[in-house]
Amino acid sequence: MAKNTSAARRVLEMMATDVRLFEIGAEVAAFWVRLVAAIVEFGTGGVLQCGVDGAPSLQSLARFRFHLSETQLETYLETCAKTRLITYDAETGAVGLAGPLALSRRAAASQENGKKGGRPRKNPSVTPSNDPRQRFAMMPVPGGAAAPSENLTETQQHSSAPKLSLEHNSKAQAEPCATDIDQAYRVIGPKALDAAGFDPSRSMANYGIVRQWCADALRAGLTAEQTERLVIGTISRVAERLNARSQSASHLGYFGKAVQTAIADRDVPAKPETAEEKAAGRRFEQAMSEHMERVSRGDRSSVMPKLEDFLPQARAA
């Protein structure tokens, strides 16, 4: 949220004056602050469409961003939505800014339109004769030197030279070599079996399909390390759902559709937090709770803590 200083300023103002943040409690209020930062970081126009266009899914946010269960994350989202601190569509997974923060959505929309070239011209048929930008341009007058004639034959021969299309070039550059695929396959394969919960001493399942997943992921531009996180994270997530229903998969092919969807969506889980980062997160959440309590008592001199300020302390501990 540091990149959007206006949004950060409005968050501070809301924390000091908005009664809704006092009513929902310090823990949910701290979650709301981190959620706003995630929307600004990953969303477009003030809306985070979870699991779409490379944005993290709700499962990834729960596990790697907020360290919550999916049920607890949904409860927090519904609480913030009921108090109109955010907008939340449970069916589509869209989470958006609301209230004073919604102003940044209009600004972001304007920026997006600007990137696309702005509004179309009211008069699309602009010619040199009616273009207002040419009002003071120097126009040619009769009597000048004649322009040299162009050799159309040479021009046509030159333009007809064979050229490789951009699509062909990108495919040639994106094609991974067999060595990289095999290396990733040897590392990820056994871990995929373990993530799926297969017992090597009892199960006849193999991880041959993992090689195709590695090839597809590397071809899509992911690194070997990202591929490992994507495959293992997707299998673990599906396996957890099966376990909750007292079910199990008989082979890795069961996870194929979910893995291919994750590759297409580039749904790469965030890197697992180190022990230092987890300790810093706990210190930050405690400091945030204390800050919210001071603000609720009317102490406007209290400064909102920042997560990065606690990392040096965690490393030194």
Question: What's the confidence (pLDDT) of residue 178?
Answer: 86
Residue 197 or 54, more confident = 197
- What's the pLDDT score for residue 91? 81
Q: Which of 237, 191, 309 is nearest to 58 (CA)?
A: 237
Which pLDDT belongs to residue 11?
80
Confidence class of residue 163 from pLDDT cuts 50, 70 and 90? very low
pLDDT at 261 (0 to 100): 93
The answer to whether 14 and 86 are in contact (CB under 8 A) is no
Which of residues 108, 138, 155 is at a domain's end? 108
> Does residue 124 lie within any of the structural domains?
no
| Mean pLDDT across 182-188 | 93
Q: Give the residue-averaged pLDDT of 5-34.
A: 79
Q: Is residue 237 part of a domain?
A: yes
Express as a percent the part of the chain with pLDDT over 70.
73
Averaged confidence pLDDT in the chain: 76
In a domain, residue 125? The reply is no
Q: Is residue 162 part of a domain?
A: no
Q: Is the pLDDT of residue 140 over 80?
A: no
Domain end: 239, 265, 291, which one?
Answer: 265
Residue at 267: amino acid letter: D
Burial of 187 (0-12, 13-18, 19+ CB in 10 A): middle
Structural domain of 97: 5-108
d(CA 303, CA 295): 9
277 against 131, higher pLDDT: 277
Model confidence at 184, pLDDT cuts 50, 70, 90, reads very high
Q: For the segment 203-262, what is each residue's pLDDT rounded down to a tens digit?
A: 777 889 999 999 999 999 999 999 999 999 999 999 999 988 898 888 899 999 999 999
Q: How confident is the model at residue 219, as a pLDDT?
A: 92
Strand partners, 97: 86
- CA separation for the pair 255, 242 (Å, rounded): 11
Does residue 41 belong to any structural domain of this protein?
Answer: yes
- 259: in domain: yes
What integer is the mean pLDDT of 35-47? Answer: 83
Domain count, the chain: 3
